[in-house]
Structure 1
Amino acid sequence: MGRHSRKGPEATKRDTGAAVGRAAGSPAAEGRGRDSAGPADGGGHGPFRDAPQVRGGHPEQREPGGGWGTGPQPRYDGPPARSAPAAHEAFRVRQAVARQQAAQRTSGRAQGTRTGEAPLVPGPRKEFLEAFDTEPAHPAPSSPADSAPETGAESERGGSGRSPDGGDKRAAKGGKGRAFTGIAAAAVTTVLAVVVAGQVARDSGSGSGNPPPAGVDREGSEDASRSVDRSTPQAHRPEVRTMSYAEKMATPFPLTPDLKASGKFQAVPGLAKAPGKGHKYRYRIDVEQGLGLDSGLFAEAVQKTLNDDRSWAHNGAMTFERISSGEPDFVITLASPGTTGVWCEKSGLDTTEDNVSCDSAATDRVMINAYRWAQGASTFGVDKLLSYRQMLINHEVGHRLGHNHVSCRTPGALAPVMQQQTKTLDLDGVKCRPNPWVHPGS
């Protein structure tokens, strides 16, 4: 039987003698309360000699060539008590597993060295093994001898805290703490090993030198959080500048000279008050549907041109007001060349030969040929398209006001506004300059 089952005064006396021997500095003081020279313990197993005492109960297992190097063989106090066969078996299994793992690590390092593979991840730390290699706890003493009071020699050593069987109470109390410490250390080691292995794998797999995707390493960083409050830079867009009235009036528009549109008209909505105090003429503007021209620009040009002091409104002689409903004095109509010819023919006028405009006196319409409005005339040229459009309005409205054609009489002078300037500026050998106004010198 093992020493844990001894009873009676003999056990107490022997334990007391061991304690006294330790206090006196005898060799037995360096052991675990047993006579190292004694016979084999129950079970036939003799203790390992000259093994250093290790904290935690059971010594660390070191094997030659293992993952933790070689070292002195630990002292073995025999198997656990027969009262704990399950703990004894678990202890033997852990020893077998430790030896097998050590052999595998040794083989893996040797193979990695031969094949040039990456070294293995470091094994568990020493504290982890010490915590889990501790001998299983023995059952509580069941006899008075096991619970005998402390002897005088032990009192002189200041209450060493040793149990009756020679164990260390502090080691028993600290076993759980070291176990938790070992578990935590092993967990940290494992996490670090996984991180290092992943880093090595990523570095080895990115041998092409390509940079990682943008924003991966910055995700959740301080810079990324600061960027939340920053305004997102907008893509550069070229500024679209609005053209002025003069620029629009000087811009030609595409339109074919033989176009005949729908023949249906639509009034330009809105009201433009007469600005002067003279006789008021109320007019409406119709634009043929399907022309694709800017009807708003045309309406603005008519109102500004007729009420200009250089026009028929000179010195307050008259004023013009545009309406979109009610009864107008006349209707200024922007139409295609084909439709213009139809309406001018109603008044006995042929506009198809030179593709010109007309005042259809038999109707209420003053016809403005859309081709001339869009393209101008060679007599003015492309650089004077604004002036040509102003002349076209003043000339046709002048017919509605009762004025007939007039020819230039002075070479080099400005042509009269009622001259057919769309056709020519040279009549009977007298060549004049283009002119859009009724009173150009004003």
Structure 2
Amino acid sequence: MGRHSRKGPEPAGPEVEAALTNEGDDREGVRPGPGSGRRRRAADAASGADGHTPSRQTGHVRGGHPEQREPGGGWGTGPQQAVPRRQQPVGTRPLIPGPRREFVEAFDAPPAPPGPSVPPTRPTRPAGPTGPADERDERPPRGGDADASASGADGGGARTGREGKSVRGRTFTGIAAAAVTTVLAVVVAGQVAHDSGGTSAAQPTGVDRDGPDGASRSDGRPTPKVARVKPLSYAEKMAKAYPLAPKLHGSGEFEVVPGSAKAPGRGHKYRYRIDVEKGLGLDAALFARAVQETLNDDRSWAHDGAMTFERISSGDPDFVITLASPGTTGDWCQKSGLDTTEDNVSCDSAATERVMINAYRWAQGSSTFGPDELFAYRQMLINHEVGHRLGHNHVSCGTPGALAPVMQQQTKSLNIGGIKCRPNAWVHPGS
């Protein structure tokens, strides 16, 4: 719709009256006053000689449309004196249509005091969680005329032209910058509180939070104690079973257990050496200690000081007590005409210097004593085979329920000839 077709009430005021007064002035170059943009009716103007109403506007534009110079139109009205709204006559309207009231009130705040002219800068980066926001982030952007007022003090009309747009744009930019800064401050504060576990200060990355010396464990938390494995006693080791295959045939090579043990008694002294087959994986020192303590026990052959036993590792022994695999034990027993492979037992190879202790029986025991009497079975095994070396033969139990003699083949059975006896490890069990 063209400007000449604008509808609305006719403008009124001193400017319109001045325009009507100058209507009769036919001088060229005199610009008519501002009009309303509407054609006047015939009753409002005198007709010409030919009955037509002369036009009040002398200027024309190409295309046949009259030139309409309206206040606030495309040509503007030039500078006008601002009249405050409260001083305007009641019932009058401003010459220039003003903006909506809510926009005017938004910029009615008093202007900021003038400050040093600083070129507008943008924050290079938002405030991080480890430091405060930069001062530049908190200053609103300024221009050369940042102190100019954007208030509509001239009766509600906002400034037009370049100056009004610049002030309004800077105001919007300041509001947007303040909103962004507030949002960033809230986000940063929440992140800092989350990272620091509720504390007010953030801590640098890569530093342990607990303890003054960088340790991750706090001072109030007790340090767990390292569990120390208590070494087994001699009795516990003698009561424990060890893995060994029943048909193991070792290398046949022996090594002497180093060390010696003096004979504790006053009787006839027997000197012996301990050899252990290589590769068995058994405790050779435990075996040597068991032999020495068992033979010199008062319940054994050393009873009442009849004899005593001394272990040596060099020199000429009276016999050699040998711990060997089942296969190697069978080889050495065979040299004396004894077959130990049938029941996987031990022997005294009398034709040689060796008293053979089957390592399988030493490690696993026998069903006649059971797993709970391994200690006693090992003591019986030593006493029985050394007894053969001392010249004693096999003896069977003669009283049902009595303790079996130490020279009975208790590894094979406790029931011989229909008489069942109890297992026994000692030559003199009642001592």
Fold shared by both chains (TM-score > 0.5)? yes
Structure 1 SS opposite 2:299 = coil
Distance (Å, rounded) in 2 between the aligned partners of 1:108 and 1:288: 95
CA 1:388/1:217 → structure 2, altered by over 3 Å: closer, same or farther? Answer: same
Q: Which residue of structure 1 lines up, in the alignment, with residue 377 of structure 2?
A: 388
Corresponding residue pairs, total: 282
* Deviation digits for residues 376-430 of structure 1 (CA, Å, limit 9, x no counterpart): 1111111111111000000000111111111111111111111111111111121
What do residues 326-367 of structure 1 show as CA deviations (whole Å, max 9, x unaligned)? Answer: 111111000011000000000111101111100001110000
Distance 1:238 1:328, change over 3 A: same
Q: CA deviation at 1:281?
A: 1.1
Check conservation: 2:410, 2:423, Cα contact below 8 A. Answer: yes
**8 Å CA contact 2:192, 2:202 repeated in 1:** no
The answer on 1:414 being equivalent to 2:403 is yes
1:217 aligns with 2:203: yes
Q: C-alpha offsets along residues 33-73 of structure 1, whole Å, 9 cap, x if unaligned?
A: xxxxxxxxxxxxxxxxxxxxxxxxxxxxxxxx8x99445x9
Q: Look up the equivalent residue of 1:109 and give its one-letter code.
A: G
Relative distance call for 1:351 and 1:233 in structure 2 (3 A) is same
Work out whether residues 341 and 350 of structure 1, in 8 Å CA contact, stay in contact via their aligned partners in 2.
yes
Question: Are residue 327 (structure 1) and residue 316 (structure 2) matched?
Answer: yes
3-state SS of paired residue (2:242): coil
2:276 corresponds to which of 278, 284, 287: 287
Tell me which residue corresponds to 1:157. none
Cross-structure match for 1:342: 331
Matched, 1:251 2:240: yes
Work out which of the residue numbers 236, 239, 245 in structure 1 matches 2:228.
Answer: 239
Please report how far the alpha carbon of residue 235 of structure 1 lies from its aligned counterpart in structure 2 after TM superposition: 4.3
- 5+ residue gaps, structure 2, are 1-106, 120-141, 148-166
Alpha-carbon spacing, 1:431–1:119, altered in 2? closer, same or farther (3 Å)? closer
Letter of the 1:319 counterpart: T
Q: For residues 100 and 119 of structure 1, what CA distance do their matches in structure 2 show?
A: 26
Answer whether contact 1:284 1:330 (CA < 8 A) is retained: yes
Q: In structure 2, which of residues 174, 198, 204 is the aligned counterpart of residue 109 of structure 1?
A: 174
Q: Distance in 2 between matches of 1:403 and 1:290?
A: 32
Q: CA deviation at 1:205?
A: 5.2
Alignment of 1:14-413 (within 5 A): 69-70=111-112, 99=144, 106-112=171-177, 116-119=179-182, 200=186, 202-203=188-189, 217=203, 224=212, 234-413=223-402
Greater helix content: 1
CA distance in structure 2 between the partners assigned to 1:387 and 1:400 by the alignment: 20
Q: Distance in 2 between matches of 1:222 and 1:428?
A: 78
Q: How many Å apart are 1:105 and its aligned residue?
A: 6.5
Q: What is the one-letter code of the residue matched to 1:371?
A: Y
1:105-129 Cα distance to aligned partner (Å, 9 max, x none): 744322246xx53349xxxxxxxxx
> Which residue in the other structure is 1:426 paired with?
415
- The whole-number CA distance in structure 2 between the counterparts of 1:310 and 1:404 is 19
Q: Equivalents in 1 of 2:232, 2:377: separation in Å?
A: 19
The structure with the largest alpha-carbon Rg is 2
SS in 2 for 1:405: coil
Closer, same or farther: CA 397–109 of 1 in aligned 2, 3 Å: same
Question: 3-state SS of the aligned residue for 1:224?
Answer: coil
Partner in structure 1 of residue 60 of structure 2: none
Please say if residues 211 and 218 of structure 2, whose CA atoms lie closer than 8 Å, have aligned partners that are also in contact.
Answer: no
In 2, are the aligned partners of 1:109 and 1:119 still within 8 Å (CA)? no
Task: Confirm or deny: 8 A CA contact 2:210 2:218 kept in the other structure.
Answer: no
Determine the C-alpha separation between the residues in 2 that align with 1:361 and 1:399: 8
TM-score by length of 2: 0.57
Q: Distance in 1 between matches of 2:420 and 2:196?
A: 77
Q: Write the distance in 2 (CA, Å) between the matches of 1:223 and 1:341.
A: 67
CA distance in 1, matches of 2:398, 2:143: 126
Match of 1:189 in 2: none
Q: Is the CA contact (8 Å cut-off) linking 1:334 and 1:370 kept in structure 2?
A: yes
Give the share of equivalent positions with the same residue, in percent. Answer: 62
Q: Distance in 2 between the 1:223 and 1:368 partners? A: 61
Judge conservation of contact 1:303–1:322 (CA < 8 Å) in 2.
yes
Residues 195 and 202 in structure 2, CA contact (< 8 A), matched pair in contact too? no
State the Cα distance separating 1:375 from its structure 2 match. 0.9
- CA deviations on 1:134-183 (whole Å, 9 max, x unpaired) are xxxxxxxxxxxxxxxxxxxxxxxxxxxxxxxxxxxxxxxxxxxxxxxxxx
What SS is found at the alignment partner of 1:320?
strand
Q: CA deviation at 1:291?
A: 1.0
Q: Distance in 2 between matches of 1:92 and 1:345?
A: 117
**1:438 and 2:427 matched:** yes
Give yes or no for contact 2:323–2:358 (8 Å, CA) kept in 1: yes
Residue-by-residue CA offset, 1:222-279 (whole Å, 9 max, x unaligned)? 9626989969954443331211111111111111111101111111111112111222
Q: Distance in 2 between matches of 1:431 and 1:224?
A: 75
Higher relative contact order (CA 8 A, sep 6+): 1
- C-alpha distance after superposition, 1:82-111 (max 9, x if no partner): xxxxxxxxx9999xx863676687443222
